[in-house]
Structure 1
Amino acid sequence: MAMRYAVRAHNLSAQSENKIHDDAVARRFGFRGALVPGVEVYAYACHPAVERWGRDWLERGTADCRFLSPVHDEELVEVEAVEAAEGLALTVRRGETICATGHAALPPAAGAPSAAPETPPWRAPPAERPPASEASLAPGTVLGTAPLEVTPAAAAAYLAAVRETSPLYAEAGLVHPGMVLRLCNQALVQNVVLGPWIHTGSRVRNLAAARIGESLVARARVTANGERKGHRIVELVVQVVTGAGRPIALVEHAAIWRPRQLG
């Protein structure tokens, strides 16, 4: 039986540097309006996994999500989760349009790693960011973010912004996984100057639940930067850790950093 979760989408990044989240710029790229960030679409898709497995999924669950069609501000979207392949097959729709697909699972506890392999080193963001390019995002480049202090107010504001209905986060003092994935975007934003850009997908392995009151940083390394269908696409491996170095998540993150319209 399918599990369904409906949520009214909200564009948290309307005022961000990435103008793909601005109505006028997004329309120039052929979209109906500003795009809701993929990290928030991921946040919606996580809801069934947390409903199914609770805190265990935040501690050691996995998820992948690919973004296929835009979600716009205030659109009603539905997340459908169906038992499949020892987990949940996820589909995010607006009306009949499929916006994202993915899969979530809970590996056996015995197989959960205590730490992520090949942890990228941390590097402070540069005082002056270079423009995004094949050189500044070359494979092997190390990227880092400034510490994000997850205060109770910030955590509560994010839950309200993504219209999260699960009581788990507030009751247990835990950080929403959407906030964790947002740091993967910041690994790009804080290190290079980007034009309009689009997050295309992520593969996430949770290593521990982040707690409200902790600080979080992203340690990232560029693994690929190439062309696909005229787009320039960058791929990162990102580890999100607490300020004390406790691993929270290991993420493979992909984004179009230069759409073909700007090529």
Structure 2
Amino acid sequence: MTRAAFETPIEDTGDALAGPWRQPRQMLHAQVYDSHASIHDDATAQKLGFKGGTIEGPTHFSQFVPLCERLWGRDWFESGCISAHYRNAAFEGEDVQAIVDKPANGARHAAIRMVKRDGTEVLRGSVSVGADAPPSALDLRLTELKPLTDAVILRDISVGMTTAPQTVKMDFEQNMGELYPFSLADKLKVITEPSPYYQDASPWGRPIIPVEMLSVLFQYLSKKDGLPVRGPAVGLFADQEIRLVAGPLFVGESYRVQRKVVALSGSKRTESLWARTEAFDSEGRLVATMLLNSASLKESYAPYQQEYAALGRG
């Protein structure tokens, strides 16, 4: 008999399902981007106006999984999608809560949000199951982007650029490199919502990779992509969607991943590269995708003002 997926206490508020207050762990203090510390390093983050190293966005996805599993059961692990716009950073020691609105009339999609104790929204977006679900939060957001003009950090990037395929896998004790200086085993010791499915007792007969760790798997070799982003510059995840097409994905199994630039956008402080990663199994089947907005902070790129002025508009 398969064990229950989660023991997470869930509150039914009538209109929504709410998970418990959690304090996610920050595991990226030692993360290195372009030979410099990342936004998850306290000193680096503080220089850029944050109060400390931020919790990496997809860490929050784990708190939504028990709520989605309550709504859709096994379908969530096989064809679930979580799509989120990160609105405010969360920091270690802060309480955050995941909330999923109840789908109307048995619908296969719902709105989500995560909040702090003071009501600050950490993220907002959507969840769904099945290939026939309505457009996700980021599907809609892509249609509303402010175009990137006068690019500096992303001057050499164009929509449609595609990376060479790479083969990735995640074993329990495998350190995931400079970008993710920890292992799945390390994560499972502190994950906010533990599950036997992540260890040895899943309905699929082997351990599955948690949805938040799919981000790690897909980004594992991204430093080798060769996309001509100027740097060094500090970046952060501003939007992210993980969609299971023929899930779940399994511990110890190899997958082929490839990225494509699907949009470029900008704001006062950032230049954003939107890339869609596709993951294929050993039989060539598309098993999952990830849409990621990597936003580079202009002020963290030392020659930004000089190079912007050289465009003739500075």
Match of 1:22 among 41, 60, 70: 41
- Shift of residue 82 of structure 1? 1.9
> Which amino acid is the alignment partner of residue 31 of structure 2?
S
- What is the match of residue 44 of structure 1? 63
Contact 2:26 2:56 in 1 (8 A): yes
Partner residue of 1:166?
195
Name the CA shift for 1:248/1:56 in 2 (closer, same or farther; >3 Å).
same
Q: Which residue of 2 aligns with 1:104?
A: 127
Which of the pair is proportionally richer in strand?
Answer: 1
Secondary structure in 2 aligned to 1:49?
A: helix
Q: 1:44 to 1:195 in 2, by over 3 A?
A: farther
The 5 A counterparts of 1:1-263 are 1=14, 2-5=16-19, 6-18=21-33, 19-84=38-103, 86=107, 87-96=109-118, 97-107=120-130, 111=132, 133-135=154-156, 137-144=157-164, 146-153=166-173, 154-170=183-199, 171-172=201-202, 173-186=207-220, 188-191=222-225, 194-207=232-245, 208-260=247-299, 262=301, 263=304
Where does the alignment leave 5 or more consecutive residues of structure 1 unmatched? 113-131
**Aligned counterparts of 1:42 and 1:7: Cα–Cα separation in 2:** 12
Give distance in 2, aligned partners of 1:88 and 1:49. 9
| Number of residue-to-residue matches in the alignment | 242
Distance change (3 Å), C-alpha of 1:164 and 1:57? same
Q: Secondary structure at the match of 1:225?
A: strand
Amino acid at match of 2:90: V
Point out the more displaced range, 198-207 or 146-155: 146-155
TM-aligned CA deviation for residue 187 of structure 1: 6.2
C-alpha displacement of 1:8 = 1.7
TM-score, normalised on structure 2? 0.68
- Find the aligned partners of 1:102 and 1:31 in 2 and give their Cα distance: 23
Distance 1:12 1:156 in 2: 12
User: Contact (CA 8 Å) 1:150, 1:216: kept in 2 or not?
Assistant: no
In the aligned structure 2, how far is the partner of 1:73 from the partner of 1:21? 10
**Greater gyration radius:** 2
TM superposition shift of 1:93: 1.5
Query: Residues 248 and 74 of structure 1: is their aligned pair in 2 closer, same or farther, counting only changes over 3 Å?
Result: farther
Structure 2: distance between partners of 1:156 and 1:49: 24
Q: Secondary structure at the match of 1:143?
A: coil
Conserved? CA contact 1:232–1:260, under 8 Å = no
CA-atom RMSD in angstroms: 2.6
How far is 1:184 from its partner?
A: 4.3
**Equivalent residue of 1:39, what SS?**
helix
Any idea what SS the aligned residue of 2:63 has? helix
1:21 deviates by 0.6
Query: How big is each residue's C-alpha offset from its partner over 1:203-240, in whole Å with a ceiling of 9 and x where there is no partner?
Result: 33211210122023421111222422341110112112
Q: CA deviation at 1:194?
A: 4.9
Contact residue 147 and residue 216 of structure 1 kept, 8 A: yes
CA deviations over 1:55-101 (Å, ceiling 9, x no partner): 31121122211100001123221111221453332111121211011
Gaps of 5+ in 2: 1-13, 134-152, 174-182, 305-314
1:218 touches 1:240 (CA, 8 Å); kept in 2?
A: yes
Q: Secondary structure of 1:251's partner?
A: strand
Residue 7 of structure 1 aligns to a residue in which SS? coil
Q: Tell whether the 8 Å contact from 2:112 to 2:125 is kept in structure 1 after alignment.
A: yes
Secondary structure of 2:159 counterpart:
coil
How far has the Cα of 1:15 moved from its partner?
0.8
Alpha-carbon deviation of 1:26?
Answer: 0.4
- Residue 142 of structure 1 aligns to a residue in which SS? coil
Percent of pairs with identical residues: 18
Q: Distance in 1 between matches of 2:285 and 2:22?
A: 32
